[in-house]
Every structure is written in C-alpha cells, then in structure tokens.
Amino acid sequence: MGKTALILIDIQNDYFGDKNGKFPLVGINEATLKAKTLLEAARKNNDIEIIHIQHVFDSDPAPFFGENTKGVEINSEVKPTNDELVIVKHSPNSFVGTKLEETLRSKNVTDLVIVGAMTHICIQGTTRSAAELGFKVIVPKDAVATRDLEFDGVIVNAAQVSASVFATLEFGYATVSSTEEVLKTF
C-alpha cells in the first residue's frame, strides 16, 4: 500500500436511535465500534491520515443533519481530535463541493479506507468517485451501516442493501474486507 488515509463518513448522531437521532440506521452502533477500532489504530500510526466527513444539510428545515443541531454532531465514539481534519459536505459524494481530493493529493495519499454511513449512498458514492480518481480503496464491510429501503412496494432489508452495494463495489471500485483484515495493514 502507498500512503493511506482513513476516511470516516457521516458517523453523526442523527443516525443513532439511542441518541434520539432523526434517521436511525440498522447496525450503526456496531459499525461505529469497528470504525473506532480503525481510528484508534490509525491514531497510533503517524503515516495514516485521518479525515472526518460531516454532512450538513443546507436546506431549512433539514430532514436530519441540520446545522447547529445535536444530530449533526460527529458521534462521541469517533469524535475528532483537534489535529484531525473535518471536511463538511452538502451532498452524498464526499468529493463534490469539498476539498477532499485536493487534501488527499497534497498529502500524497494513494490508498483510502472508507468507513461510516450510509452504505448505499455516501459510502458508495465516495468510493466510486475515489476509484475513478485513481485512489485504491478498501471498504471494511463491518464498519459501515445503512437502513432498510423500500422501492415500489418492495422492502429491502439493510443486510441485502449492503450486500448488493458491496457486490457492485467489489466488481471494480474497491476491495471489500473486514476491520480485522484492514488492521493488519495499519
């Protein structure tokens, strides 16, 4: 691997039912603990860049992640330290309208480990863009979360949503692995 960055996407309070979040996800607590494990390992390795992505809706009223709300805050389990970069975004893809690519290039990052939420939206969008921009991407499947979806009267449970996304990402955009496997590279 080249120089690595750990990208933590949208691990924010509105996704947590136990924090009275407005948009709770299935398995967010477990995924956050895995992300925390990766974050703690990255903090011990000065060669790994750490970047937190925080989604803030710029509409008023916001459906969730409203500006200056408790729900928009990054969850305390993975709270950034003062020296860790937080990039605010307003769309699902973390590269759109942000300085994420510029930041990664300026730090000579070639490899990304992407964790957080939601699997089918922000994780997928950011992963695809990262691969198309030439970054090598790993997505630890146990460190991301999503929710059940409904389309045209069909309910798709969160596990199936994630499996579908991981299958497409693994086909040409990323390596889908586990936290345990990623830790071996840190």
Measured between alpha carbons, how far is 121 from 127 in angstroms, rounded to an integer? 10
What is residue 19's predicted lDDT score, i.e. its pLDDT?
76
* Whether domain 3-183 has CATH 3.40.50.850: yes
User: Cβ(140)–Cβ(177) under 8 Å?
Assistant: yes
What is residue 59's predicted lDDT score, i.e. its pLDDT?
82
Known active-site residue 10: yes
Summarised one tens digit per residue, pLDDT across range 97-142 is: 999 999 999 999 999 999 999 999 999 999 999 999 999 999 999 9
Pick the catalytic residue from 22, 122, 141, 142.
122
Q: What is the pTM of this model?
A: 0.96
Known active-site residue 79: no
Beta bridge partners of 115: 8
Residue with structure tokens 């916001």? 62
Pick the catalytic residue from 19, 34, 89, 141.
89
What is residue 1's predicted lDDT score, i.e. its pLDDT?
53
Where in the chain does DSSP place strands (E)? 3-9, 48-55, 85-89, 109-117, 136-140, 144-145, 149-151, 154-156, 175-177
Measured between alpha carbons, how far is 84 from 51 in angstroms, rounded to an integer? 6
Measured between alpha carbons, how far is 134 from 110 in angstroms, rounded to an integer? 8
The ranges of the chain with pLDDT < 50 are none
Pick the catalytic residue from 10, 14, 111, 142.
10
Known active-site residue 122: yes
Tell me the residue type at 133: L
What is residue 2's predicted lDDT score, i.e. its pLDDT?
73
Q: Which residues contact 123 (CB under 8 A, 6 or more apart)?
A: 9, 114, 115, 116, 117, 139, 144, 165
